[in-house]
Amino acid sequence: MDYVDKIIADAEKKNADQPEFLQAAKEVLESLRVVVGRDSVYEEVGLLERLVEPERIIQFRVPWVDDSGKVQVNRGYRVQFNSAIGPYKGGLRFHPSVNLGIIKFLGFEQIFKNSLTGLPIGGGKGGSDFDPKGKTDAEVMRFCQSFMTELYRHVGPNTDVPAGDIGVGGREIGFLFGQYKRLTNAFEGVLTGKGLTWGGSLARTEATGYGLVYMIEEYLKSIGAAFEGREVAISGSGNVAIFATQKVQQLGGTVVTMTDSNGFIYHKAGIDLDAIKEIKLINRGRLSEYTKFHADAVYTDVADGKVWNTPCDVALPCATQNELDLADAKTLVASGCKIVGEGANMPTTLEASIYLQQNGVAFFPGKAANAGGVGTSALEMSQNSERLSWSFEEVDAMLRRIMVDIFHNIDNTAREYGKEGDYILGANIAGFKKVAHAMLDQGII
Ligand code: NDP
C-alpha cells in the first residue's frame, strides 16, 4: 500500500459517516500521488496525515427564541482546518442539510482554493443547520446574535475571518458583525461581505460569479474563442448564480436557465436578471414566480425534470454540492456542451467530472473557478487593515487578475505533470504545493 492509499484508508476508517468530506479528500489525494511519490519528505513528516485532519473543530449549541416565544436550538460549527499560509478564512453556511461532514468538506476545499488565490489566507468553514427560509428578520437576528455569542471567542481579524455562503448574505453578516462588536468592543475586520458603509468592499457581492466567468473567458481566449453568442445553463439563483449571469450577459452570452431548490426556469430569449433579483433578492420568493414576468419562459418542478437536460455550450452549476451527476454529464456531452465551470463547491460528482474530462469537456473545479469570492474577501481584509476603501474598478481589476493568474497556474501545473487540460489535477497540485511548503517550514505542528 503506498502513502496515498494508506491515507485514504485511514481517512475512510475515521470519517465513515462523512461522505462529502471523503469525496473531497479522495479527489485531492488522488491528484497528489504524483507529487508525494517524487519526494519522500512528505511521508517522513506525516504531511498528508496532518493535511486531512483539521487543526481545530468547534461545535456549539445555538439557542434562540422564535417570534411565538418558543425556544429553538440549532447546532453551530466552525472547522479551522489549516492556518499554514494565513488566518483561517471561509464562509458560514446556514442550511438544514449542514452537518460536520459537510463543513469539513467545505473547509478542506477552502485550503487549496485560498492558496490558489495567491493571497495569505488559510482554510476554514462554519455554519449551522438553521434554515433562514420562512423566518422573520427578527428571528434571523436573534439566531445570528446567539451564534456569534459563542463564535466570537474563536475568531478575529488575525485568527479566523468568516464570510457568507448558502443562506448567509448581507443581512446575516450585518447581524453577526453587530453582535461581535458589542461583545468585544472592537470595530475590526472579523467578517467579510460587510455592508459598504461599515467596512465592506465594493465588488465583493459580485466577486464569485464574476470571477467564475473571468476564468472561463480566459480559457476561451486561450483557444481563440469568446462568450459572444454562446448559450449558458446556470443552476442556482442565489449570489453566485445571479452575478455569473450578469457577467455572461455583459460578455455577450445568453443565460437560458436558473434553478432553486423547487425547480428551474428555461427562457430561450435569455434570463431577465431584473426579474430574478426582484423575486430572489427583494421578495425572497420562489423561482416559479418568474413566469408572471415572462409568459414565454417555462418553469419545471424538480420532480418533473432536470436542468442539465437543457442544451447549452457552457454549464455553470452554482447551487450546491453533488447537483450534477454522471447521468447529467452524459446528457450534457450528448447535447454538445463543451465547458463546465463549478460556481458552487463540489457541485459535480467525482464520476461526472471524470466523464466530462474524458469526453472533451473543459472542466473547471470549484476550488479554482469560484475562488474569486474568497480572493475578494482577502482584498476586503486588506482594505480593513489599511482603513481605506478601493473603487469598484480597482477591486474588479484585481479580481480579474486573480482569476486569470489562477487559470494559467492550473493550466501550467497540469502541463508540468503531463496532464494537459486536467484542471482538477492542476488546481489540486498548485494549491497543495504552497501549503505544503509552508507546513514543511513550520515544523511538526
Ligand atoms: P445562496 O444561498 O445565495 O444561493 C444558493 C442557491 O442554490 C439558491 O438558489 C438555492 O435555492 C440553491 N440551493 C441551495 N441548496 C440547494 C439544494 N440542496 N438543492 C437545490 N438547490 C439548492 O448561496 P451562494 O450563491 O452564496 O452559494 C452557492 C454555492 O456557491 C455554494 O456551493 C457555495 O458554497 C458556493 N460558493 C459561494 C461563494 C460566495 O461568495 N457566496 C464563494 C464560493 C463558493 P433556494 O433559493 O431554493 O434555497
Q: Which atom of ligand 1 is nearest to the CA of 345?
A: 32
Give SS3 for 348.
Answer: strand
Give the contacts of 358 (CB within 8 A, at least 6 positions apart): none
Closest ligand 1 atom to the C-alpha of 302?
20
CB 57 within 8 A of CB 100: yes
Report how far ligand 1's centroid is from the alpha carbon of 261 (Å). Answer: 10
The CATH superfamily assigned to 205-369 is NAD(P)-binding Rossmann-like Domain (3.40.50.720)
Ligand 1 in reach of 370 Cβ (< 6 A):
yes
DSSP secondary structure letters along 160-210: EEEE-BTTB-HHHHHHHHHHHHHHH------SSS--GGGT--TTHHHHHHH
Quote the ligand 1 centre to 342 CA distance (angstroms). Answer: 12
- Could you check whether 54-187 and 205-369 share the same CATH topology? yes
Q: What is the pLDDT of residue 1?
A: 82
DSSP secondary structure string for all residues of 33-95: HHHHTT-THHHHTTHHHHHTS-SEEEEEEEEEE-TTS-EEEEEEEEEEEE-SSSSEEEEEEE-
Closest residue by CA, ligand 1 atom 41: 165
The predicted structure's pLDDT at residue 318: 98
Task: Looking at the CA of residue 242, tell me the nearest atom of ligand 1.
Answer: 25
Instruction: Say if ligand 1 is within 6 A of residue 127 CB.
Output: no
> What is the residue extent of each domain of the chain?
54-187, 205-369
Cα(191)–Cα(194) distance, integer angstroms: 7
SS3 state of residue 300: strand
Please name the residue whose Cα sits nearest to atom 15 of ligand 1.
320
Residues of the chain scoring pLDDT < 70: none
The residues, any chain, with a CB within 8 Å of residue 293's CB and separated by 6 or more, are 272, 275
- Choosing from 89, 104, 113, 125, which is the catalytic residue? 125
Distance 441 CA to ligand 1 centre (A): 37
Tens of pLDDT, residue by residue over 140-169, are: 999 999 999 999 999 999 999 999 999 999
Ligand 1 atom with minimal separation from the 167 CA:
2
From the CA of 262, give the closest atom in ligand 1: 47
Residue whose Cα lies nearest atom 37 of ligand 1: it is 165
Output the CA 176–ligand 1 centroid distance in Å: 19
pLDDT at 250: 98
Q: Are 340 and 315 in contact (CB under 8 A)?
A: yes
Judge whether 125 counts as a catalytic residue. Answer: yes
399 in ligand 1 pocket by Cβ < 6 Å? Answer: no
Residue whose Cα lies nearest atom 30 of ligand 1: it is 344
Distance 235 CA to ligand 1 centre (A): 9
CATH for the 54-187 domain, from 3.40.1260.10, 3.30.420.40, 3.40.50.10860, 2.30.30.90: 3.40.50.10860
